[in-house]
Amino acid sequence: MKKTSTRLADGRELIYYDSRDDVVRDAVDRRPLDPTVTSSEIRRDVLLGDAVAIASHRQGRTYHPPADQCPLCPTRGERLSEIPDSSYDVVVFENRFPSLAGDSGRCEVVCFTSDHDSSFADLSEEQARLVLDAWTDRTSELSHLPSVEQVFCFENRGAEIGVTLGHPHGQIYAYPFTTPRTALMLRSLAAHKEATGGENLFDAVVEEELGGERVVLEGEHWVAFVPYAAHWPYEVHLYPKRRVPDLLGLDEAARTEFPQVYLELLRRFDRIFGEGEPPTPYIAAWHQAPFGQLEEFEGVTRDDFALHLELFTIRRTSGKLKFLAGSESGMNVFINDVPPERAAERLREVASS
């Protein structure tokens, strides 16, 4: 992998990740952009103990542009975009409309491919591996920023999820705090460790699922399963069999196998609802251990956390979405219409061959 860092016309960082070492990236951003002016504020909810990012400048962000005006396509002639070069493998750049900025963290955009009409599932194994390497590199780089405590790599896919740009891409949020969802995991991890005399809860969960009826697919180094208490109609958790706290901890064998397993998962997601259905909307979310201090989670270290990816869709059946209504939004109690065992069975049925 070759990494080339440059700057856009307004000062934001852009990084090319290339499979070949002989690629030269010296294209200049020709757009007449003013310096980026962003501000975000983290406010604490004293009752719930969580945080909210206030980012009013995002109201003006790009919204469903025509395909020929997509800002994530490469620059071609006089059609200027966020990527100055006329082609690329993988690109990461600072978000022009970030939710987090300055002392409040950082937001980046990850473009998986220059092909506007494809998706992550259409990538080759080599391309998917390059994205994994980019995620890993950004996790490492962002973790060293003084304002960053946790790095979150994710993909929102589909208009139903709220995606405003159709080009295949994801994002990276670098938070200045440990996120509430991760904190819940760490508290459960600490309680289980104390109650069992040192047993790791993540290990226990994976061991319980291995070989069971909720396993969707399994490789030598990865296992994917629908969790026992799945929140979403179709939800899969993907774990490396050797526990590591973050993407940096994956060994070469796990990195090599990941594209095979993950691409198969995504292709199965697009088959859930049958032929002729539009692409399945989903969220793919990497959960990594925070880089900050963990004193409040007594007895837990970073190495106790287990890197994993959660992949889920808000579509519950053909033409129908799962809405977060009263119980989910008001009380955070999910009601799932699809039994996890049936969801796993369906995802096994639609194996691509």
Residue numbers annotated as active site: 169
Which tokens in the block code for residue 60? 């003006």
Question: In whole angstroms, what is the distance from residue 170 CA to residue 266 CA?
Answer: 14
How many other CB atoms are found less than 10 A from the CB of residue 88? 22
Contacting residues for 47 by C-beta, under 8 A, at least 6 apart: none
Residues in a beta bridge with 321: 315
How many other CB atoms are found less than 10 A from the CB of residue 221? 19
Length of the chain (residues): 353
**Gyration radius of the chain's alpha carbons:** 20
Question: In whole angstroms, what is the distance from residue 346 CA to residue 353 CA?
Answer: 15
- Local structure of residue 35 (DSSP, 8 states): P
Q: How many helices (H) and strands (E) does the chain have?
A: 6, 15
Which tokens in the block code for residue 79? 């059609």
- Local structure of residue 330 (DSSP, 8 states): I
